[in-house]
Structure 1
Amino acid sequence: MRILARFRALLAVLLLGAGAAHGAYPDHAVRLVVPFSAGGQFDIVARLFAKYAGERLGQPVIVENIGGGGGNIGAAKVANAAADGYTLLTLGGNHTMAKAMYANPGFALEDFAPIALISASPHVVLANAGAPFKTMQEMVAYAKRQPGKLSYGSPGVGSSMHLTFEMIKHRYGLDIVHVPYRGGANALSDLAGGQVQLGIVAIAPAMEFIKAGRIRALAVTSGSRSGVLPDVPALAEVGYPELDAASWMGLAAPARTPGAIVDRWNAIVLAFQRDPATAAQLQVMGFRSRATTPQEFKAYIDAEAKAYTEVVRRTGIRAD
């Protein structure tokens, strides 16, 4: 069955040019909604993907940033859009936990047709360059000596980074104030400027700040070190071996989008992941990719929703 699904996806991508030439879908620009501000992980990958997809479709794929609500505002707009393949969503872990975090997030996972998983990246725990600690262990000791003094920025309430840092606080017994932003880029700017002392985002958007010495990486949230930050320990090395959290991004359409359109976009994602140039770009930024069929991506989403719901229940974290 998997071989058949892969064949259908590859056949769909071969038919892209012919379809466009005969006035079939798409015959005008496609809108790709990124539910966070520009410059964050979703935005970086979405713009790479949009350029690649637009070249193969023969129509522009326009990235639209709709931040706020931990990704819920943008997701709700796509959930209520026409199911015609002209409005798509970059869907992530924040959406799988929305039902558990919010009384009314504005959408349900059933409002979307999963297309494919695109990429994943560990989170990285960060500190302002002038903070009075240089390692994760020193940060934990400092926070315990001065409860409530430190603050951390995340891409928003209900984001996977927010939940991950709250898990870290719970694990180490820390009192650190959460400051939510409309995306990772905004959190990084304030972290570098000293408005907050700590932050948590995906690796890619943080790399420029780390290399410039404006912020310091304390730990990555994966079970092992990241190849792009080889000198930064994994949390497994500093007292939290059971945590392996990542920020992942996939592609989804409004529910009831025709299966042929879903298959076509799945084929584009697979081709994007296999393209040597884009694969190299993703790898340099610390992203991992994993090919999935729409059915496999749905199973992945369901498993993530179950896991995050349990974490929310166990920690008591709520966004409202």
Structure 2
Amino acid sequence: MSASPFRRLFVAAGLLAAAALPAAWAQGAAYPSRPVTVIVPFAAGGSVDAAARMVLQKVSERLKQPVVIENVAGAAGTIGTLRAVRSPADGYTLLFAVASPINVAPLVSPGLVKYESLRDLAPIAQVATSPFVLVGSPQVAATGTTQMLELARQQPGKLSYGTDGVGTSMHVTASLIEQQAGVQLMHVPYRSGPQVLTELASGLIDLAVMPVTLAQPFIKDGKVKAYGVTSRQRWGSLPEVPALAESPALKNVDVESWYGLFAPAQTDAALVERIAREVAAAMADADLQRRMLEAGLKPLVQGPAAFAATLKAERTSLGAVVAKAGIKAE
């Protein structure tokens, strides 16, 4: 017996509906079927690279596929970020980044940055925060923050400080410290954070604003002095180091850098949510949380919507600091 016209019509309609399902959803259902590449837009061995490797190891276990980290350093993280923006939006090339290439570079280098991160990237998850720490060379006479600031006031523009480049998060944070304290320091940009710490320990520069994750081994080994962390309260992995906000001149300093995962903007929303769920599950691992805390990172999971809101708010607040300091990297 042949099928009725109505049955044939029903079957045909069902096939058309199935064919109309977004291709990305179909990919997401079986995702991932091969290794995933995550671009880290900074050199291996830095704070962003270290955080990425800790987190993505657990994400790889959840996905049951290798997660391959590709370090694409240069131009304050913008070269690697641009590569991620231009990658296929299929979930197989992601970006692990911090504020420098996402929210700082578009403000300080609008003519050079060839992407608009809030439009061209899809936030997947924020995974951690960590403050910066103001550190000094052993040769600097000042033993505390107040004394160091007084020394800077007596010699405007003489005390030098290093960061990982013009227009990076470290540079903007140092400018905020200058603004709050009413001091003028001399900026010495380097290519990477590890290079800054080596030069600082050798006495070639006076001060530096560094991520806690990168600086704390130097602090604990007595190679550099720690004046204070930029978080509102003292930080768990460096309990003996005061918060800069404990000094009256810097009472309003409250800066914590975020670490997060992104996809190209056109990645299907269902796939973004799928990856976000796997990241959240990976972040619940007690051993990962312990290792992150020991490294100076505070685990903090935000999903796509909350992370997007955080980025928009940060862009506004950073814009005010950059405009007041007149920071330009062009």
Structure 1 position 314, deviation (Å): 2.6
Question: What is residue 136 of structure 1 aligned with on the other side?
Answer: 145
Bigger Cα displacement from structure 2, 266-275 vs 246-255: 266-275
Partners of 1:244 and 1:57 lie apart in 2 by 36
Out of 211, 219, 223, which is 2:232 matched to? 223
Question: What is residue 92 of structure 1 aligned with on the other side?
Answer: 98
State the secondary structure of the residue aligned to 1:297: helix
Structure 1 segments, 4+ long, off by >4 Å, are: none
After superposition, the Cα gap between the structure-2 partners of 1:199 and 1:261, relative to the gap in structure 1 and judged at 3 Å, is same
State the secondary structure of the residue aligned to 2:210: strand
Bigger Cα displacement from structure 2, 184-193 vs 205-214: 184-193
Partners of 2:170 and 2:280 lie apart in 1 by 26
Structure 1 position 286, deviation (Å): 2.3
Bigger Cα displacement from structure 2, 120-129 vs 255-264: 255-264
Structure 1 position 23, deviation (Å): 10
Out of 159, 175, 196, which is 1:150 matched to? 159
Contact 1:37 1:182 in 2 (8 A): no
- The Cα RMSD (Å) is 2.0
Question: What is residue 207 of structure 2 aligned with on the other side?
Answer: 198
Structure 1 position 174, deviation (Å): 2.3
1:251 has 2:257 as partner: no
Aligned length: 301
Question: What is residue 20 of structure 2 aligned with on the other side?
Answer: none
Please tell me the residue identity of whatever aligns with 1:276.
A
Q: Any idea what the Cα deviations from partners look like across 1:103-129, whole Å, max 9, x if unmatched?
A: 221211211011011110011001122
Question: What is residue 112 of structure 2 aligned with on the other side?
Answer: 104
Question: What is residue 327 of structure 2 aligned with on the other side?
Answer: 317
Q: Any idea what the Cα deviations from partners look like across 1:257-285, whole Å, max 9, x if unmatched?
A: 12232122211221222110001111122
Contact 2:165 2:171 in 1 (8 A): yes
Structure 1 position 223, deviation (Å): 1.2
Contact 1:204 1:286 in 2 (8 A): yes
Question: What is residue 183 of structure 1 aligned with on the other side?
Answer: 192
Q: Any idea what the Cα deviations from partners look like across 1:7-60, whole Å, max 9, x if unmatched?
A: xxxxxxxxxxxx99x993323222211122222221111011121122222222
Please tell me the residue identity of whatever aligns with 2:214.
P
1:83 has 2:89 as partner: yes
Bigger Cα displacement from structure 2, 271-280 vs 85-94: 85-94
Contact 1:127 1:198 in 2 (8 A): yes
Partners of 1:39 and 1:137 lie apart in 2 by 32
Contact 1:161 1:247 in 2 (8 A): no
Partners of 1:228 and 1:302 lie apart in 2 by 29
Runs of at least 5 residues in structure 1 that lack an aligned partner in the other structure: 1-18
Question: What is residue 22 of structure 2 aligned with on the other side?
Answer: none
Mapping 1:29-40, distance limit 5 Å: 29-40=35-46
Out of 60, 64, 75, which is 1:58 matched to? 64
